[in-house]
Amino acid sequence: MDHHPPPFFKRGPSTLARFAFFAALSIVLMVGDIYQNYLSVLRQGVAVIVSPLQRLANAPSELAERVGGFFISQAFLQRENDRLQQQELQHAAQLQGYQATQTENAHLRKLLDARQQSAQTLLLADVLYAGRDPFSHKIIADKGTVHGIATGQPAVDDIGVIGQVTRAYPFSSEITLLTDKDQAIPVEILRNGMRAIAFGQGADGTLGLAFTPMNADVQTGDVVVTSGIEGIYPAGLPVAVVSKIERNAAVAFARIICTPSAGVGLHKQVLVIVGDRRKEFQTLAAPLLEPPAKPVIKGKVKRGGGIAR
């Protein structure tokens, strides 16, 4: 073997220079991500590479689950079947009442000459994993833009709202949960119809009703539902239950803490509402929804501080 002298001068730029280059590039990316949405194309590109890897990483646990499901006991299945049948019966009874109400509602709406609310289409998505970022509450679902998911669509479970799609990639989507610090949802109190905005509180997994006056008629145990005012969440979906009220004279507003009613962050599957109402709303209010990557309601909060009153 012949030996070449080691290439002394073939190192390229110094490590420091390269580090400075990459650091600057990262900072540019971060700033770009915060202030503009130019980078969504780049992000989607990387997402296309990463999402098959995600699926591959999830494969073993999925397989284990399937194998585990195969060996489930007969007794367990029987019990579950019984329970589900009973539930089905109850639901059927409720549904009959619902149908009657709906016809009546349609009739009344016609009388009032009001706009008809179109039915919602639901899309079942599997949760790939919970976001690993300890600072935010997000889940990644396995359906994306090719399945009809778009940014801003609400996500629900069998009880109520759990969050909103904040980023839609071609084959997966990111759902920000209600408990995330940046997430807001317009709500009303079912008992008296008082409107408010619920904000996620971050770490402790609760919601807070913001901008509610001191003397607001709120009681512990009140059920909080979506108001449907902004046209993104359908009206009347359960959101939370008021669990604690603090009225401190030093602050202008009452501090109202709610516990989410839906299993936020518990599920393997979520339903995304792929409705037509949203599109209708978007064409109406397109100029209001400038930053589509952010939770869409944010802009509304700033504009309509009076909503809570």
Partner 1 sequence: MALSLFIGLMLNLLPWSGIALLLRPDFVALILLFWSIREPRRMGLGVAWAMGLMIDVADGVLFGQNALAYSLAVYIALILHRRILLFSPWQQTFYALLLLLLLQFMTLLIRLATGAAFSGMSYFASSVTGALLWPLLTLLLQLPQKAEPKRDQI
Residues that bind partner 1 (CB under 8 A): 15-16, 18-19, 22-23, 25-30, 32-34, 39, 42-43, 46-47, 49-50, 53-54, 56-58, 60-61, 128-136, 138, 140, 167, 174, 181-182, 202-203
* DSSP one-letter string for 158-199: SSSEEEEEEEE-SS-EEEEETTSTT-EEEEEETTT--EEEEE
Nearer to partner 1, 128 or 216 (CB): 128
To partner 1, the closest distance from the beta carbon of 9 in angstroms equals 14
- Of the chain, the end-to-end C-alpha distance in Å amounts to 85
- For residues 168 and 145, the answer to whether their CB atoms sit within 8 Å is yes
Nearer to partner 1, 57 or 84 (CB): 57
Q: Taking every pair of C-alpha atoms in the chain, what is the biggest distance, in angstroms?
A: 96
To partner 1, the closest distance from the beta carbon of 8 in angstroms equals 13
Nearer to partner 1, 53 or 75 (CB): 53
Backbone angles phi, psi at 90, to 5 degrees: -60, -45
To partner 1, the closest distance from the beta carbon of 234 in angstroms equals 25
- For residues 157 and 124, the answer to whether their CB atoms sit within 8 Å is no
To partner 1, the closest distance from the beta carbon of 92 in angstroms equals 35
To partner 1, the closest distance from the beta carbon of 49 in angstroms equals 7
Nearer to partner 1, 100 or 130 (CB): 130
- Reported as type and span, the H/E element at residue 154 is strand 154-156
Residue 146 structure tokens: 């090719």
Cα 1 from chain centroid?
63
